Amino acid sequence: MAQKNVLKYIILGMLAHRELAGYDIKKLFEEELGDFWYSNHSQIYPELRRLEEDGFIASHTELVGKKLEKKFYRITESGQQLLSAWMEEPLNPPVPTRDEFTMKLYLINSAKDPLVPRLFQEEICRHEEKLQYLQARWQLLFADEAARQEHYGHRCILQQAILREKQRLEWLRQEYAALKQ
């Protein structure tokens, strides 16, 4: 297996927190999880169907407006058990980052290669944007004290992502500056 169907457990974990429709799950990936995990709706909907067939989740439909149906899923008892079992399993070995910037850099043998400054500029730019987005999310979600208590895991990984981006930007800028000497 390419990665042991982690998506299945992520969906279960999301539904353990609250009822969600497929579209909501997709939005969670886009808005607050994209750095770490992402799935297209074409992967989410079939997975939801399988989970329901296997009895790990259950659904009911609600009307949005007059005709549009939205299918909400909740986790069942057996789904909860499956999720717990996975949460308690030891972590699988980490997967490679498959980061294109790093790979291109690796293939350059000299600091004088004219590709280097462009590569760094591009990467710096991308990480500046990402850092800004993450910091805006932090302001939005965890600015006030109360919110910091709830959603422990979400707060944790957002903070970690911000630190990671800052450290990476620092290193990138340092290395970029060193090119000119």
Partner DNA sequence: TTTGGCATGTAAGCCGTTACATGATTTA
Partner DNA sequence: TAAATCATGTAACGGCTTACATGCCAAA
Q: Which residues make up the interface to a copy of itself (CB under 8 A)?
A: 3, 6, 9-10, 13-14, 16-17, 33-38, 87-88, 90-92, 94-111, 113, 115-116, 119, 122-123, 126, 150-154, 156-157, 159-160, 163-164, 167-168, 171, 175
Q: Which does 100 bind (CB under 5 to 8 A by kind): a copy of itself, DNA, none?
A: a copy of itself
3 near DNA (CB under 7 A): yes
For 98, phi and psi rounded to 5 degrees?
Answer: 50, 50
Choice from 24, 32, 35, 128 touching DNA (CB under 7 A): 24
How many Cβ atoms from other residues are within 10 Å of residue 118's Cβ? 10
Question: Which lies closer to a copy of itself via its Cβ, residue 62 or residue 171?
Answer: 171
CB of 141: closest distance to a copy of itself in angstroms? 13
Q: Residue 23: which of a copy of itself, DNA, none does it interact with, CB under 5 to 8 A by kind?
A: DNA
